[in-house]
Amino acid sequence: MAVVAASLGAAGLVACDSDGDGTSSSPSFSDRPSPPDTASFSGSPPSALASAAESAEAAARASASAAAASASALEASRQASIGAEAERSRQAAQDALKDVQGRGNALDEVAMTGKPRSDTDGRLAVVVSVRNTTDATASYAVQVDFLDASGKVVETRYVGVEDLPPGERKQPLVISRNPPEPVLTPRLAKAQRY
Predicted confidence (pLDDT) per residue in 75-85, tens digit: 666 666 667 88
Secondary structure (3-state) at 4: helix
Indicate the DSSP class of residue 107.
G
Q: What share of the chain is helix, strand, coil (3-state, %, to 5)?
A: 40, 25, 35
Task: With CA atoms as reference, report the closest residue to 115 among 129, 104, 102, 101.
Answer: 129
Helical segments of the chain, H only: 2-16, 48-97
Q: Are 117 and 171 in contact (CB under 8 A)?
A: no
pLDDT at residue 124, rounded to an integer? 94
Secondary structure (3-state) at 185: strand
SS (H, E, C) 79-91: HHHHHHHHHHHHH
pLDDT at residue 56, rounded to an integer? 73
Q: Any residues with CB less than 8 A from the CB of 94 and at least 6 apart, and which?
A: 141, 143, 158
Q: Looking at residues 130-138, what average pLDDT do you find?
A: 97
Dihedral (C-alpha) 91, 93, 95, 97: value to the nearest 10 degrees? -150
pTM of the model: 0.59
- Which is more confident, 62 or 117? 117
Q: Looking at residues 93-121, what average pLDDT do you find?
A: 94
Mean pLDDT of the residues in the chain: 80
Instruction: Identify the helix (H) or strand (E) that includes residue 194.
Output: none
Phi, psi (degrees; rounded to nearest 5) at 82 = -65, -45
